[in-house]
Amino acid sequence: MRRKICLLLALLFVLYGCASQTSTSSSPDPTHGTSSISGLHLPSGFQISIYASGLHTPRFMTIGPNDMLLVADRASNSIIALPPGTSPDHAGNPIVIASNLHDPTSLVMHNGYLYVGEGSSIARMALGNDLKAGPITRIITDLPDGGQHSTRTVLIGPDDQIYVSIGSDCNVCIEKDPHRAAVWVYNLDGSHGRLFAKGLRNAVGMVVNPWMGQIWADVNGRDNMGDDLPPETVYELVDQGDYGWPRCHAGNIPDPQFGQFPNACQNVQKPLVTMQAHSAPLGLDFYPQTATQFPAHYQNSLYIAFHGSWNRSVPTGYKIVRVPLDCGKVAGPAEDFITGWLHSDGTVTGRPVGVTFAPDGTLFVSDDNQGVIYHIWYHA
Domain extent, residue 108, equals 2-378
pLDDT over 60 at 28, yes or no: no
Between CA 354 and CA 121 the distance in angstroms is 20
Nearest alpha-carbon partner for 337 in 28, 2, 6, 13:
28
The pLDDT tens digits of the residues spanning 137-193 come to 999 999 999 999 999 999 999 999 999 999 999 999 999 999 999 999 999 999 999
Please tell me the predicted confidence (pLDDT) of residue 33.
Answer: 53
Domains held by the chain: number:
1
Please tell me the predicted confidence (pLDDT) of residue 6.
Answer: 45
Between CA 326 and CA 299 the distance in angstroms is 10
Please tell me the predicted confidence (pLDDT) of residue 65.
Answer: 97
Number of alpha carbons in the 13 Å side-chain half-sphere of residue 369: 14
- Rounded to an integer, the average pLDDT of 191-201 is 98
- Rounded to an integer, the average pLDDT of 60-82 is 98
Q: Is there a contact between 379 and 45 (Cβ–Cβ < 8 Å)? A: yes
pLDDT over 50 at 135, yes or no: yes
- Rounded to an integer, the average pLDDT of 218-246 is 98
Q: Is the peptide bond before 84 cis (omega within 30 degrees of 0)?
A: no
Between CA 45 and CA 290 the distance in angstroms is 21
Name the residue with higher pLDDT: 10 or 255. 255
Q: Is there a contact between 138 and 121 (Cβ–Cβ < 8 Å)? A: yes
- Rounded to an integer, the average pLDDT of 267-282 is 98
Q: Is there a contact between 107 and 62 (Cβ–Cβ < 8 Å)? A: yes
Between CA 215 and CA 201 the distance in angstroms is 17
Please tell me the predicted confidence (pLDDT) of residue 90.
Answer: 97
Q: What is the CATH number of the domain that holds 115?
A: 2.120.10.30
Q: Is there a contact between 346 and 54 (Cβ–Cβ < 8 Å)? A: no
The pLDDT tens digits of the residues spanning 158-172 come to 999 999 999 999 999
Please tell me the predicted confidence (pLDDT) of residue 32.
Answer: 53
Please tell me the predicted confidence (pLDDT) of residue 35.
Answer: 67
pTM recorded for the entire structure: 0.93
Between CA 202 and CA 166 the distance in angstroms is 7
pLDDT band at 77 (very low <50, low <70, confident <90, very high): very high
| HEC profile of the chain | CHHHHHHHHHHHCCCCCCCCCCCCCCCCCCCECCCCCCCCECECCEEEEEEECCCCCEEEEEECHHHCEEEEEHHHCEEEEECEEEECCEECCCEEEECCCCCCCEEEEECCEEEEECCCCEEEEEECCCCCECCCEEEECCCCCCCCCCCEEEEECCCCCEEEEECCCCCCCCCCCCCCCEEEEECCCCCCCEEEEECCCCCCEEEECCCCCCEEEEECCCCCCCCCCCCEEEEEECCCEECCCCCEECCCEECCCCCCCCCCCCCCCCCCEEECCCCCEEEEEECCCCCCCCCHHHCCEEEEEECCCCCCCCCCCCEEEEEEEECCEECCCCEEEEECCECCCCCECCCEEEEEECCCCCEEEEECCCCEEEEEEECC
Please tell me the predicted confidence (pLDDT) of residue 9.
Answer: 45
Please tell me the predicted confidence (pLDDT) of residue 86.
Answer: 92
pLDDT over 90 at 197, yes or no: yes
- Rounded to an integer, the average pLDDT of 324-342 is 98
Between CA 211 and CA 319 the distance in angstroms is 26
Please tell me the predicted confidence (pLDDT) of residue 380.
Answer: 84
Q: Is there a contact between 371 and 56 (Cβ–Cβ < 8 Å)? A: yes
pLDDT band at 24 (very low <50, low <70, confident <90, very high): very low
pLDDT band at 36 (very low <50, low <70, confident <90, very high): confident
